[in-house]
Structure 1
Amino acid sequence: MNSRSVVIERPGEHRLESGPPPEPGPGEVRLRVAAAGICMSDREVYDGHRDAGYVRYPVVPGHEWSGTVDAVGVGVDAGLVGRGAVAEGFRNCGICRRCRSGDTSLCAAGYDETGFTRPGAFADHVVVPARLLHPLADDADLRAAALLEPAAVVAAAVRAGRAEAGERVAVVGAGTLGLLAVQLLAAGSPGELAVVDPRAERGARALEFGASEAFAPREAAELAGRYDLVVETAGAPSTAASSCLLARRGGRVVLTGMFTPGATGIDPVHLSLSQLTVRSVFGAPSSAWSFAVRAFGAGLIDPGPLITHEFPLEGFADAVALVGGGDPKTGKVLLRP
């Protein structure tokens, strides 16, 4: 059988390649891809805007995905064949001090991630280390499970923020990360759960996902100092600074958006006088993946309603053009090999 893959040769140039399916090596598994999400990071790879240290051309993108194990390498349990699963993207070494401490997303061996430096899931098949696999329940919705990668990032943010029942919480940004954060935070019984987004349609969607209030940024500016925890997910030029202003004195802020050079800095005077705790999240450690998969299996998060468009591999050009296009009706875009 042939296996197809979308290859970005260099920024702005891609092709659909066909050849023998990749073979799993020792300790690896091959999965038949069920669905793969396209996010802004993929758009940055295609446009050539991703930092050179975090992409290696030519590359098969695809870091948000789900699939079914169809082959295993030497040393891997053959009982995995036929199991639906997702897999962590970071190819952590597992032996450095950071990995041993559980901070696998801070692996000292250097950055190495499926879909950016290794072939990803914009393909019929993807090969990953078996140790990074997270098997799913037999009846799991693999279409929705393709979004467990952003759900794991959100899980890392929520865990870093130490959300407690009854607290006032704000989520800045109502894209994929923001809406998944709303679902996960709502499951923890916050006293208030506000969402800040300039797009009224996204704010309304956040209310459907469990938010108690939705505000435009101009309205939110009047709520300075109100929230115990602020989870920033937008990565817009001003949202790191504005998120800190929303937090109460002694509050916590977790930044998960991917910022670009030139973003507004956080005021160090405000930071010190308010005694804020500020954390950032890039990717997700293994513990957050386990948390997200468990929450998905328990029904605490359901990424399915975020999906608005689906394309075959041949439709990659049209699909990637939708991502970041600014249409508020465009949610998560999937490739379905």
Structure 2
Amino acid sequence: MARMMTQPSLEILDSPGPDTQRIAILRETNRVELAYAAIPEPGPEEIRIKIKWVGICGSDVEAFRGTRQPEFISFPTRLGHEVGGTIEKVGSNVLGLQVGDQVSCRYVWGAFAEYIVCSPFNVKVVPSRIPLKEVSLLETLPGIIHAAELSRITSSTTVLITGQGVSGLILTQVVSLFSPKRLVVTDIHQKNLDLARKYGATDTYLLDSPASSSAAAIKVQFPDGCEVVIPCLLEGDGMIDAVDAASFGGRIVMYGCIGICRQPFDFFKVHRKRLEIYSTEPRSDIEMRRYFQEGVQLLLDGLLNTRELVSKTVSLENIQEAFYLRSDQENDTIHVLIDCESPRSRER
């Protein structure tokens, strides 16, 4: 069975001390605040990571809004998993990894903090020539590369990606490397569409609102729909739009749309159109490691641009403001990074 995210133990302290760290706690819907916890010690098979940057992922936003409550979330809880940091301490039984290694993380949770402890499986060492700001977004690459492979793209395939947020824009860059006949994207912000065009999209459609239909927007140019549709949105309702936008016998690859679906879903339409639907999380641990390595290599080869996707950096002290910014669909913020480095560390 493939490993999944686990929630770290939650022992909140009343006040800071010499062996404590700052952590962010989601107290309730729309309320995240700073607290204190002990700096964790790694076991013999673990490592401790000093965190610099953590991106606010769509799944964090859903938990913040109260629209996604997986089995591992209860209040209060800790969020954050898109990590860029360095290894600070290595367990006695860990080989290969070294103090000072720069790493991205996957399948960690509770990373809006100064430190986390995890296993070697959860980290991917990244050469120091890649800035830590770019490292945190590597966490998205295993799922994105898997989504592109599941799509079975050829030179005659028309692909539609609905949503050009941070993951959608990375997905557009990866899918373009598969050389589809047409790469169609939709979004509610023109700035995002301009970036998508730069990254390889051949057709872009500006939607009026988050509730607008991509299927309706592309109908004139693509009356039969697209062979591959990859929804890259938060809300589950995007799957309804994806079914409408897919051609007969097409494939829907669910990178996003794992949130709540508030409208009735027409399963008979899926049957009638003979659609295939795939989920994108790698099926095995070894697959995840392979995709992680491929993602790092794409960045090293200069084939991915993550730098342009970071709209703003916010200190851990101001994480509530950062979540409001990231959660607001009306502004054109693409990605927000939280600076988790402690003021004490900055002074050293």
TM-score range, shorter chain: 0.7 to 0.9
SS in 1 for 2:292: helix
SS in 1 for 2:219: helix
Aligned residues: 308
Q: C-alpha separation between the residues in 2 aligned to 1:306 and 1:73?
A: 35
Is 1:121 aligned to residue 111 of structure 2?
Answer: yes
Q: C-alpha separation between the residues in 2 aligned to 1:224 and 1:29?
A: 53
Give unpaired runs (5+ residues) of structure 2.
Answer: 1-17, 208-213, 341-348
Q: CA 1:46–1:226 in 2, change beyond 3 Å: closer, same or farther?
A: closer
The alpha carbon displacement at 1:149 in A equals: 2.0
Deviations 1:258-291 (CA, angstroms, capped at 9, x unpaired): 23132441452x4334322111235885143333
Q: C-alpha separation between the residues in 2 aligned to 1:226 and 1:262?
A: 24
Instruction: Report the counterpart of residue 274 of structure 2 in structure 1.
Output: 275
Deviations 1:23-65 (CA, angstroms, capped at 9, x unpaired): 1112111111121011232233334433251314433311111
Equivalent residues of 1:27, 1:73 under 8 A apart:
yes
Instruction: Report the counterpart of residue 24 of structure 1 in structure 2.
Output: 42
Instruction: Report the counterpart of residue 218 of structure 2 in structure 1.
Output: 220
Deviations 1:97-130 (CA, angstroms, capped at 9, x unpaired): xxxxxxxxxxxxxxxxx32xxxx22111111111
Q: C-alpha separation between the residues in 2 aligned to 1:284 and 1:126?
A: 25
SS in 2 for 1:147: helix
Is 1:146 aligned to residue 136 of structure 2?
Answer: yes
Q: CA 1:266–1:205 in 2, change beyond 3 Å: closer, same or farther?
A: farther
Equivalent residues of 2:22, 2:35 under 8 A apart:
yes
SS in 2 for 1:221: coil
Q: Percent identity?
A: 24
RMSD: 2.4
Instruction: Report the counterpart of residue 293 of structure 1 in structure 2.
Output: 296
Q: C-alpha separation between the residues in 1 aligned to 2:293 and 2:278?
A: 21
Paired amino acid for 1:153: G
Instruction: Report the counterpart of residue 106 of structure 1 in structure 2.
Output: none
Give unpaired runs (5+ residues) of structure 1.
Answer: 90-113
Instruction: Report the counterpart of residue 13 of structure 2 in structure 1.
Output: none
Paired amino acid for 2:245: L
Paired amino acid for 1:16: L
Q: CA 1:219–1:58 in 2, change beyond 3 Å: closer, same or farther?
A: closer
Q: CA 1:79–1:197 in 2, change beyond 3 Å: closer, same or farther?
A: closer
Equivalent residues of 1:152, 1:284 under 8 A apart:
no
Equivalent residues of 2:67, 2:260 under 8 A apart:
no
Equivalent residues of 1:311, 1:336 under 8 A apart:
yes
Q: C-alpha separation between the residues in 1 aligned to 2:81 and 2:316?
A: 15
The alpha carbon displacement at 1:155 in A equals: 1.9
Is 1:136 aligned to residue 139 of structure 2?
Answer: no
Instruction: Report the counterpart of residue 71 of structure 1 in structure 2.
Output: 89
Q: CA 1:313–1:249 in 2, change beyond 3 Å: closer, same or farther?
A: same
The alpha carbon displacement at 1:237 in A equals: 5.2
SS in 2 for 1:301: coil
Normalising by structure 2, we get a TM-score of 0.80
158, 178, 203: which one aligns with 2:193: 203
Q: What aligned pairs does 1:177-188 form with structure 2 within 5 A after superposition?
A: 177-188=167-178
Paired amino acid for 2:315: P
Range moving further from structure 2, 179-188 or 213-222: 213-222
Q: CA 1:289–1:12 in 2, change beyond 3 Å: closer, same or farther?
A: same
Q: C-alpha separation between the residues in 2 aligned to 1:279 and 1:73?
A: 38
The alpha carbon displacement at 1:247 in A equals: 2.6
Instruction: Report the counterpart of residue 229 of structure 1 in structure 2.
Output: 228
Deviations 1:160-181 (CA, angstroms, capped at 9, x unpaired): 2222344221111111221111
Equivalent residues of 1:310, 1:335 under 8 A apart:
yes
Q: CA 1:227–1:7 in 2, change beyond 3 Å: closer, same or farther?
A: same
Is 1:330 aligned to residue 325 of structure 2?
Answer: no
Instruction: Report the counterpart of residue 346 of structure 2 in structure 1.
Output: none
Q: What aligned pairs does 1:21-60 form with structure 2 within 5 A after superposition?
A: 21-60=39-78
Equivalent residues of 2:67, 2:259 under 8 A apart:
no
Q: CA 1:238–1:220 in 2, change beyond 3 Å: closer, same or farther?
A: farther
Deviations 1:136-190 (CA, angstroms, capped at 9, x unpaired): 1231221012112223322221122222344221111111221111000112222
Q: CA 1:266–1:188 in 2, change beyond 3 Å: closer, same or farther?
A: same
Normalising by structure 1, we get a TM-score of 0.83
